[in-house]
């Protein structure tokens, strides 16, 4: 680990998290937005469900860690919602157990420190036609948009009950124009889909009354001091560009 300790934002979840730094992914976008302000830490595990996440929760987030995360963004639910396989194998988790698992995950994360904040992302929708075309010859699974919606609603209801911030991806993605363009294979996010995720996460952070604030506009910049080594402007004076947003403000409506 680098010597300087910035706030840590940990992304914890299944393939939508593991793949969030590729293909214009939402994890990479967050890392860009929070450059010099927070470290985006990836803990993504493709194919996992909430049951498997719970089994390693204390290893991924030990209570005795020297530094605890300032924010944990959690995504499980899509794989849980896959219909049960006739063999008894596979990622399906019954809805009551899913809710119980997510409750335990939330309570553990909130116990890490008084300043650890948690955001749950719900199961996004799926484009069933594209999914069956691209993945149907690989996986023997039944995954429906309707089931994703049921698990999404249960996740949001849980967030209200236990005081965790939630992002309803199932609804927000389907409210966008041409929402099926948000996916590369019917399940995983395209750059367009990742932008929806980032927009919704930033909206939650912006509206949350957290102290200290995790809004990138109000977080300190690492090494912000003026220097004679800064870039020189047309007037012959140095320009400190540590806070230049290079169109991020316009892109994310800040």
Task: Please tell me the distance from the alpha carbon of residue 210 to that of residue 205, in angstroms, as a whole number.
Answer: 8
Q: According to the model, what pLDDT value does residue 136 have?
A: 79
DSSP state of 189: B
Q: What is the pLDDT of residues 91-145, one digit of tens each?
A: 999 999 999 999 999 999 999 999 999 999 999 999 999 999 998 788 888 999 9
Residues 6+ apart with CB under 8 A from 139: none
Tell me the catalytic residues. Answer: 14, 185, 188
CA triple 226-227-228, angle to 5 deg: 140
Average pLDDT over the chain, rounded to whole? 93
CA triple 12-16-17, angle to 5 deg: 30
Of 208, 126, 119, nearest to 167 by C-alpha is: 119
Domain ranges of the chain: 8-225
Taking each helix axis as running N to C, give the angle between helix 50-60 and helix 95-110, from 0 to 180 degrees, rounded to the nearest 10: 20
Task: Please tell me the distance from the alpha carbon of residue 137 to that of residue 224, in angstroms, as a whole number.
Answer: 53
pLDDT of 252 > 60? The answer is no
- Per CATH, the number for 8-225 is 3.40.50.1110
Q: According to the model, what pLDDT value does residue 247 have?
A: 57
Q: Are 184 and 23 in contact (CB under 8 A)?
A: yes
pLDDT of 84 > 90? The answer is yes
């Amino acid at each position: 680990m680098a010597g300087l300790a910035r706030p840590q934002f940990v992304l914890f979840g299944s393939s939508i998290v593991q793949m969030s730094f590729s293909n214009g992914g939402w994890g990479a976008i967050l890392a860009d937005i929070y450059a010099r302000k927070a470290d985006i830490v990836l803990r993504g595990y493709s194919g996992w469900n909430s049951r498997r996440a719970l089994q390693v929760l204390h290893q991924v987030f030990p209570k005795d860690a020297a530094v605890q995360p300032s924010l944990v963004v959690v995504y499980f639910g899509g794989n849980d919602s896959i219909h049960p396989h006739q063999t008894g194998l596979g990622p399906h988790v019954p809805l009551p157990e899913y809710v119980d698992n997510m409750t335990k995950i939330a309570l553990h994360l909130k116990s890490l420190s008084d300043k650890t904040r948690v955001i749950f992302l719900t199961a996004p929708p799926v484009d069933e036609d594209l999914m069956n075309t691209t993945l149907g010859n690989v996986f023997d699974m039944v995954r429906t948009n309707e089931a994703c919606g049921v698990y999404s609603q249960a996740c949001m209801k849980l967030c209200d009950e236990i005081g965790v911030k939630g992002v309803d991806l199932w609804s927000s993605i389907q409210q966008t124009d041409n929402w099926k363009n948000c996916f590369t294979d019917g399940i995983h996010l395209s750059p367009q889909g990742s932008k929806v995720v980032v927009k919704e996460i930033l909206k939650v952070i912006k509206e949350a009354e957290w102290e200290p604030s995790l809004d990138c506009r109000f977080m300190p910049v690492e090494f912000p001091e003026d220097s004679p080594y800064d870039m020189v402007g047309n007037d012959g004076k140095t320009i400190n560009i540590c806070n230049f947003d290079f169109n991020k403000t316009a892109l994310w409506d800040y």
